[in-house]
Chain A
Amino acid sequence: DIQMTQSPSSLSASVGDRVTITCQASQDISNYLNWYQQKPGKAPKLLIYDASNLETGVPSRFSGSGSGTDFSFTISSLQPEDIATYYCQQSDNLPLTFGGGTKVEIK
């Protein structure tokens, strides 16, 4: 199985801050990397697919980059509604695997 390691596991930032989360795969997954947002008590929501493609309807302050084993996810200007846990997920090989999540809070 491909292991996905996210960091940090949690962070606290102010409204308007730039926030970056990283995700490392245990092997080369090309650009088969997706990012989800999960708010408390809700299902995950797909934000970014194929490392850098924004899902339809997702605000442009969210972005993703990377390839191979190292990826990053950025919120350019943190908004109160962005409080959530973010997960990366690889779609290179089955079984599909997720990172451990990054909980984003407002300072």
Chain B
Amino acid sequence: QVQLQESGPGLLKPSETLSLTCAVSGYSISSGYYWGWIRQPPGKGLEWIGTFYRSGSTYYNPSLKSRVTISVDTSKNQVSLRLSSVTAADTAVYYCARHRRGGYCSGASCPFDYWGQGTLVTVSS
């Protein structure tokens, strides 16, 4: 059973860098699948942040691309998210998720079939 668990600081000051990790269990991320990050501001909808594939390919939402880095530590079986120069607008629950395989989609375009429980990050001075 695949499980994902996000972790990281829950409170940041404006201009700081958000750093989150997603520990994956039940599957080796180096074996395949695409892995993504999605966020959800309190009481609002979902926003895709970006996706990583084991080949090193990354795909980012253009709205965040200049501030986002997604990487993988295969030795720890973790996916990481870094978001620089945060503001209050970055306050959200951050989820990591696995892209599904199969069907008509391909790669980073596929829907998300496994999600972490999410972690709330608040940006406040």
Contacts and interface: CB of A to CB of B under 8 A. Distances in A.
Q: Do A and B come from one complex?
A: yes
Contacts of A1: 62
A34 B115 CA distance: 15
A31 B104 CA distance: 8
B109 A96 contact: yes
**Chain A contact residues: over half helix, strand or loop, or mixed?**
loop
B103 A44 contact: no
In this complex, the interface size class of chain B, counting residues with CB under 8 Å from chain A, is 20 to 34
In this complex, the interface size class of chain A, counting residues with CB under 8 Å from chain B, is 20 to 34
A44 B109 contact: no
A92 to B, nearest CB: 7
Interface of A: 1, 30-32, 34, 36, 42-46, 49-50, 53, 55, 87, 89, 91-101
Interface of B: 45-48, 59, 61-63, 95, 97, 100, 103-105, 108-113, 115-118
25 contacts: A30-B104, A43-B95, A43-B97, A43-B115, A44-B46, A44-B95, A45-B115, A46-B111, A49-B111, A50-B105, A53-B103, A89-B46, A89-B111, A91-B105, A91-B109, A94-B61, A94-B108, A95-B48, A96-B48, A96-B61, A96-B109, A97-B48, A98-B45, A98-B46, A98-B47
